[in-house]
Amino acid sequence: MRTQNISMVKRLISQLHLGPSPAQRSGNVVLVVGGAGYIGSTLVRDLLKAGWRVRVLDNLLYGDSALRDIMAHPRLEMVIGDCRNLRNVVRAVKGVDAVIHLAAIVGDAACGRDPRTALEINYAATRLLVEVAKGEQVGRFLFASSCSVYGATDELASEETEPRPVSLYAETKVDSEIVLQEARSATFHPVILRLATVFGLSNRPRFDLAVNLLTAKACSEGVITIFNGQSWRPFIHVQDVSRAFMHLLALHSAQIGTGVFNVGDSRMNYRIADVGEKIRSAISTARIETVAVDDARNYRVSFDRISRVAGFQSSLTLEDGIDEIRTAVQSGSIRDYRDIYYDNQKCLEHRGSPVNEDELDQRVMAAFSVGPKARVAVAS
């Protein structure tokens, strides 16, 4: 039955194929799925500055304010829709030269509140996008994964380190990586970016991220609450994440190799307690409170490959991010960091999970949600 369902979906995709041949393409059109989000709203601007024609597919779950000021840009096209909707995806992918897939229910807490929707958006929609991209003969596909796939390890994790995900969010990233690697061919070149823990301001600010939240709390309440202070994490500024996508998008296919890159900077592996001390150095009036919680995540990561292959290193430090958050809060440009708009989980709780009402799309998602054994129980 599963094979029949997948075959049905592939036939539908083939019937909807209307894109130009590679020879007819301009060579500079990129689709950003999730382009109105935290990373996407920065990346879209960088792509436009670099001369790309940019198409965005986004359901605007968190509103359109992140892109509102550039909506009229002559090289920007918006497709407002769900990445789980077959027709939206085919329309968005048609005629592009590259796909950058950022859309996801991001974070352990946000995924935990609605596992089925997280599975559909984070995993099944990736499968759909891959099938459509291959059908439209798109050669380059960049996927935002996460260093959280390493879970808990005492070794310095490289791209060859076996993933040990300890959350649904990380598991959906691992499963999507498997789909992309299996889809690799002489004409389809996926690139997997395992992102370090992101911080810093973007046009869609987030304060459910460690550095941003701790800094805002230190400014507003005079408290830095550290959970599991001895745990390691790698960090990267959101602007550097965008730069990394630009670097890897520019690589020749022969340079991609396995297609997996840890994205960050080896100089920016820190214990959570070290982050707290850096924030206290910037905001001397704040005090540190330490709380022990049950969180198995602990990983230091090597970023030698992206440095060697793509010449990428971070340009912004942890201190830079702390300073810009402090300035934003103290100046009033961020009026209340506790606003639900800045927190994925709270926003989803308030608005509800995005509903996929189309019966055809429900069948497509049901077919593509069945994958690795670890996911079957969640989907049922």
The predicted structure's pLDDT at residue 5: 58
User: Hey, is 82 helix, strand or coil?
Assistant: coil
Crossing angle of helices 318-331 and 210-221, in 10° steps, is 40
pLDDT range class, residue 376, cuts 50, 70, 90: very low
Six token digits for residue 345: 């989980």
Residue carrying structure tokens 């690795």 = 372
Contact of 207 with 325, CB cutoff 8 Å: no
Which range is least confidently modeled, 89-93, 299-303, 373-377? 373-377
Six token digits for residue 299: 């990983």
Mean of pLDDT values over 73-81 = 96
φ and ψ at 375, to 5 degrees?
A: -95, -20
Whether CATH 3.30.1360.230 fits 2-199+234-267+294-315+353-379: no
pLDDT tens digits along 81-94: 999 999 999 999 99
Prediction pTM value: 0.92
Write down the domain spans for the chain: 2-199+234-267+294-315+353-379
Highest mean pLDDT among 1-15, 30-44, 145-159, 342-356: 30-44
Average pLDDT over all residues of the chain? 89
- Count Cβ atoms within 10 A of the Cβ of residue 266 and give its class: 0-12 exposed, 13-18 middle, 19 or more buried: middle
Contact of 126 with 369, CB cutoff 8 Å: no
pLDDT tens digits along 229-247: 889 999 999 999 999 999 9
pLDDT tens digits along 118-173: 999 999 999 999 999 999 999 999 999 999 999 988 899 999 999 999 899 999 99
pLDDT range class, residue 25, cuts 50, 70, 90: low
Residue carrying structure tokens 């920065």 = 42
Instruction: For residue 303, give the nearest of 294, 312, 290 by alpha carbon.
Output: 312
Instruction: For residue 231, give the nearest of 323, 140, 293 by alpha carbon.
Output: 293
Contact of 174 with 120, CB cutoff 8 Å: no
